[in-house]
Amino acid sequence: MSSKPRKFKGGVHPNDSKALSETKPVQEAPLLEKYTLIVTQNIGAPPELVVQKGDTVKKGALLAKAGGFVSVPLHSPTSGTVTAVDKCPGPAGVRVPAIEITADEEDEWGSPFEPIADWQNADPDMLRQRVADAGIVGMGGAGFPAHVKLTPPPDKPIDTLLLNGAECEPYLTADHRLMVEQAEDIVRGAAILKRVFGLETAIIGVEDNKPDAIAKLKEIAEPYGIQVQNLRVNYPQGAERQLIYALTGREVPIGGLPMDVGCAVQNVASAAAVTEAVIKGRPSIERIVTVTGEPLVEPGNWRFRIGTPVSKAIELAGGVTVQPAKLLLGGPMMGIAQKSLDVTIMKNTSGILLIPTEQVSQYSSEPCIRCGRCVECCPMRILPATISQAVENERFDLAEELNVLACIECGSCSYVCPSHRPLNQHFKRAKAEIAAKRQKG
Amino acid sequence: MSEAEKPTVRLPVAEELIVSTSPHIRGRENIPKIMIQVLIALLPAAIAAVWFFGLHALRVLALCTIGCIAVEVVWNAVAKRPTDTWKDGSAAITGVLLAMNLSAGAPWWICLLGSLLAIGLGKQIFGGLGFNPFNPALVARVALLIGFPQLMTTWVLPRPGVMTGLDALTGATPLALTAGEIAQQPNILSDLFFGNVGGCLGETSALALILGGLFLLARKLIKWQVPAAFIGTVALISGIVNYFNPEITAPPLYHVLAGGLLIGAFFMATDMVTSPMTTLGALLFGFGCGLITSVIRIWGGYPEGVSFSILFMNALTPLIDRCTIGKPFGYVRPQKEE
Amino acid sequence: MTIILTALLFAAVLGAVLALVIGAAAKAFAVETDARLETVTDMLPGVNCGGCGYAGCADFAKAVVEGRTVPSQCPVCMTADIDRISEYLGITAGKKEKVLAVVRCCGSIPVTVRSPYNGIGDCRSAVLVAGGAKGCDYGCIGFGSCAHACPFDAIEIRDGLAVVHPDLCTGCGKCVETCPKKLIVLAPAAVDVHVYCNSPEKGALKRKVCKTACIACRKCVKAADSEDQMMIKGFLVETNYSNPPLPDLVEKTGCPTRALRLASEHAAGVYEGVSK
């Protein structure tokens, strides 16, 4: 491991705007009367409900069990009654199945499992099962079930465990605050994950713009045999492939997974959730969310229970002074624009961001002037301009030939495009069309 | 109203929230900004042209710029397309570049015909900005050069600082001089550098062009590979030929400073729309331009070959782009053979 | 003079030799084609819409001549043309019910809740962003991908809603596969009464986002001549195309949300501005 991180080609340097919330300590969000939990919080199979309307549940009780291997269970964020099993606005804009829990204000724990006190000597399979039972997903944004990454097939042994604390998205500071305030939890989580893989070491990668987090983690991580590596400030440094390259020099093949190059990557928040699940015996029912943006009265970081409506989070941040142009779940580069305030916080919601009109990028389909800025900044080294033109002409075969499937949708190309072309949307379309074609066979 | 509002928390109005794909923020660059910076980069050369050729240079500059903008507006109006595209500044750049390719003595109708050819034939006929395969200003220059060889190859002699009137004397472009003639002019290199030579507006002051070019490089508006490869190739080839047979051609420094090489290399070959997007492609493009320019200059029938070389390489740009696509991150060969 | 003559002579001889070669080659490598193929192709509409399931009109003609399909499988042809083809080939025309495309949504801009959308003006791209930025997850997005796909210009985008003109529609089905919301169905051309809504959500929720949604109030079911002419499916009513109601049902029902419409009058814009 070299002390200097490698630089991946490309990337952009947006104004990080983290100052709004990076010094704000994490506050506990007050208990709400009602929580609406979206049933499918993960990539993969939807979980299967195990409760019905009218059931009473304890805090941490199982609401839905995993609907397959690539799926995670869902637990109750508080004690109370299941008052509705219906639909609610989902993060992608369409209504999705959801469970409504009305709190009884007791907030009484009823965790389905016990703490594993002696985790240092525990059986790796038991730890792995615990991660699966606790419903932990990739909390950086993707929502990939954590236990799947811990269960590589025998022909793909994991030799490197990486923790992603890059948080390269502008505005977001949830991971930053977590690393400063709960460094111990992250490091212990990393140690547990190390034990699952039987590895001697692990690396936590943190971008250079968080020196306090790096210092804090270094101090705590050393006795556990875990390295802390500072990373260049370059978006998308926190994208899985770019992070692996920066820390190990390995390139994850297109269409492949980190396990193809012997790596396992977990978000720092997921690592902290692992600590909660193993050492405290608590399922994943809360997370730190940055509620930020210039229109807000008081941006900050809060620990919210999963299922908290976005409107409540905005209320906690003091509401808005002006009407924002967009409401996003996630950061400004990869977050999803919302059209409803009723959408609720999910396990992979790292931020609730309100951007003012003057900051918003308005797309227009002006012609490409072939300046090549997108080619320069593309971290996947594909030709965004050429692909977008192919998509405009509905040449999805050409787009596929030009490796549109390698695109990680980081948005760097759209960020730099002087013609304000909606490049990312073109790629999403191409991917959707190619997937549909493949499904047809 | 403010009193009543204070205690209650104001929430965003959901119906007014815009939805779009990510990313939701953007860099500050846009097309007009880029174009204005290119115009700024052309400013030193334009000032130098006016200094050496007087108000007639200003007349040509103004006629071409206004002509190009007017053609674009009229064309779009006739084609029922948005007529405000001239505001992006690209037509103005074409106009200035076209003027840079004309002599200060060019009659008004040459300027306007050039504008029509540049914007009409060079750009709008393909669909406007971004779709033209060839550099519009060069299309006009070459068309005029072939159509009116006499007019396009008579140059006004420079009269530094004299604003009015035209020098009745016309002389050949310095590139047409033979090696022997060059040797008789001891100050020729410094004249070329500062611009005290006959030629098009943009062929005069190497200093002004280099200043503009450096500005473009510093603002990252052009790829350094294109001018570097272009100028380097010309210098190298002319150097080799000159070393073995000084009778055939002038020394490399002379080749670099004289004629349209600098304006071509910094302002015309680097045109974003018509040059390759990839880094390797830019190098190849510059090299090709340099090679063709040298061949035309040294052995060809025309004294100058910059415009032909750039146009020719423009035609090859799609091919170059296609051949120079690098391997994407994490690329795996479809089939691995042992 | 001799030069010109020589040149002419040379050209003439060369031409004659090459003509012989080509003639011989044409005889030697001749491919047997059915002469009827061309005639049938000429009788077909020639728009290559693909509605028959073949690659184009020529391909369809080949299939007809070879007996793999019947002329009536062409959704575009007039009955007279189909009869002409079958008469020419001496085969039966077969039978195919004439169908028309129906866009099962009538939520135009004035009657629906929409979010401001910024992006590509194409339904299939827009649907990737917040499901189309419309309050209703099932409604027509109105960027007109279907209208662009229609080879007969039978779909008009009116106030952000795709409206099929029954007199132009041939029922080729191009729009059906294009629509990302899967709103368009092919219904028998003889039926004029349709429910212009396909949202399976609850009535109250639909009304919140669309003034012209079907709220399954059953008024039309009761007003129908027989029980099963209008079918209830969850929170939605559908026309029973195998036992269709008469066009006067629309008037008899007085649909409170105006989701029940006649295709012909919907296309003519009769219902615009009258939603309650």
Q: How many domains does chain B have?
A: 1
Give domain status of residue A103, yes or no: no
Q: How many domains does chain A have?
A: 2
* Cross-chain Cβ contact C120/A339 below 8 Å: no
Same structural domain, A284 and A419: no
* Cross-chain Cβ contact C129/A433 below 8 Å: no
* Cross-chain Cβ contact C129/A425 below 8 Å: yes
B16 — contact with chain C (CB < 8 Å)?
yes
pLDDT 10s digits, A139-197: 887 889 999 999 989 898 999 999 999 999 999 999 999 999 999 999 999 999 999 99
Q: Give me A37's structure tokens.
A: 């939990």
- Which of A310, A329, A360 represents a domain boundary (last residue)? A360
Give domain status of residue A224, yes or no: yes
Which residue in B has a C-alpha nearest to residue C120's C-alpha? B20
For the entire predicted model, the pTM comes to: 0.88
A339 — contact with chain C (CB < 8 Å)?
yes
Give domain status of residue A51, yes or no: no
Same structural domain, A166 and A260: yes
pLDDT of residue C254: 87
Q: Of B57, A93, A361, which is closest to residue C136 (Cα–Cα)?
A: A93
Give domain status of residue B5, yes or no: no
pLDDT of residue C155: 93
* pLDDT for A2 beyond 50: no
Report, as ranges of residue numbers, the positions in chain C whose pLDDT lies below 50: 275-276
Give domain status of residue A120, yes or no: no
Domains plus CATH for chain C?
36-89 (1.10.15.40), 99-268 (3.30.70.20)
Torsion angles phi and psi, residue C25, rounded to 5: -65, -40
Give domain status of residue A150, yes or no: yes
Chain C positions in Cβ-Cβ contact with residue B14 (cut-off 8 Å):
115
Which of the four pLDDT bands, split at 50, 70 and 90, describes residue B335? low
* Cross-chain Cβ contact C124/A429 below 8 Å: yes
| Residue A430: domain span | 373-440
A118 — contact with chain C (CB < 8 Å)?
no
Which residue in C has a C-alpha nearest to residue B22's C-alpha? C129
Chain B positions in Cβ-Cβ contact with residue A313 (cut-off 8 Å):
none
| Mean pLDDT across A248-265 | 91
Q: Which position has the token pair 């499904």? A: A439
Give domain status of residue B274, yes or no: yes
Q: Which position has the token pair 């492939």? A: A241
Which of the four pLDDT bands, split at 50, 70 and 90, describes residue B230? very high
| Residue B190: domain span | 31-322
Collapsed DSSP state (helix, strand, coil) of residue B48 = helix
B29 — contact with chain A (CB < 8 Å)?
yes
B223 — contact with chain A (CB < 8 Å)?
yes
Q: Of A89, A217, A243, A80, which is closest to residue A161 (Cα–Cα)?
A: A243
Give the whole-angstrom CA distance, residue B69 versus residue B281.
31
Give domain status of residue B54, yes or no: yes
Same structural domain, A266 and A390: no
Chain B positions in Cβ-Cβ contact with residue C130 (cut-off 8 Å):
19
Q: Give me B334's structure tokens.
A: 């479809």
pLDDT of residue A102: 94
Give the whole-angstrom CA distance, residue A94 versus residue C180.
14
Give domain status of residue B2, yes or no: no
pLDDT of residue B175: 66
* pLDDT for A266 beyond 70: yes
* Distance from the C134 Cα atom to the nearest Cα atom in chain B, whole angstroms: 10
pLDDT 10s digits, B253-278: 888 888 889 999 999 999 999 999 99
Chain B positions in Cβ-Cβ contact with residue C128 (cut-off 8 Å):
21
* Cross-chain Cβ contact A333/B13 below 8 Å: no
For testing contact with chain B, the best of A329, A369, A400, A431 (most B CBs within 10 A):
A369
Question: What's the mean pLDDT when you consider all of chain B?
Answer: 86
Which residue in B has a C-alpha nearest to residue A338's C-alpha? B19
Same structural domain, A2 and A24: yes
Residues 6+ apart with CB under 8 A from A381: A9, A10, B326, B327, B328, B329
Torsion angles phi and psi, residue B203, rounded to 5: -105, 5
Same structural domain, A245 and A337: yes
Percent over 70 (pLDDT), chain B? 90
Same structural domain, A403 and A283: no
State the CATH number of the domain containing residue B219. 1.10.3430
* Distance from the C75 Cα atom to the nearest Cα atom in chain A, whole angstroms: 24
B337 — contact with chain C (CB < 8 Å)?
no
ipTM value > 0.95: no
pLDDT of residue B180: 65
Chain B positions in Cβ-Cβ contact with residue C119 (cut-off 8 Å):
20-21
For testing contact with chain A, the best of B277, B314, B319 (most A CBs within 10 A):
B277
Q: Which position has the token pair 């943190």? A: A206
Determine how β-strand A160-165 pairs with β-strand A263-267: parallel
Residues 6+ apart with CB under 8 A from B145: B152, B153, B307
C240 — contact with chain A (CB < 8 Å)?
no
Same structural domain, A351 and A431: no
For testing contact with chain A, the best of B9, B37, B317, B329 (most A CBs within 10 A):
B329
* Cross-chain Cβ contact B130/A403 below 8 Å: no
Tell me which of A328-332, B49-53, B110-114, B289-293 is least confident: B49-53
* pLDDT for B172 beyond 70: no
Minimal Cβ distance to A323: which of B16, B30, B327: B16
Residue A277, CA atoms < 13 Å, CB-side half-sphere: 29
Give domain status of residue B335, yes or no: no
* Distance from the C245 Cα atom to the nearest Cα atom in chain A, whole angstroms: 33
* Cross-chain Cβ contact B22/A337 below 8 Å: yes
* Distance from the B255 Cα atom to the nearest Cα atom in chain A, whole angstroms: 29
Give the whole-angstrom CA distance, residue A330 versus residue A352.
6
Minimal Cβ distance to C113: which of B15, B17, B20: B15
pLDDT of residue A336: 92
Minimal Cβ distance to C119: which of B15, B17, B21: B21
Instruction: Report how many Cβ contacts below 8 Å link chain A to chain B.
Output: 187
* Cross-chain Cβ contact A341/B321 below 8 Å: no
Give domain status of residue B20, yes or no: no
Give domain status of residue B183, yes or no: yes
* Cross-chain Cβ contact A425/C133 below 8 Å: no
Same structural domain, A383 and A283: no
- Which of A332, A360, A388 represents a domain boundary (last residue)? A360
Chain B positions in Cβ-Cβ contact with residue C113 (cut-off 8 Å):
15
Give domain status of residue A38, yes or no: no
* pLDDT for B43 beyond 80: yes
* Distance from the C121 Cα atom to the nearest Cα atom in chain B, whole angstroms: 11
Helices (H), chain C: 2-28, 35-43, 57-65, 79-89, 123-126, 145-149, 174-178, 203-209, 219-223, 249-253, 263-268
* Cross-chain Cβ contact C116/B19 below 8 Å: yes
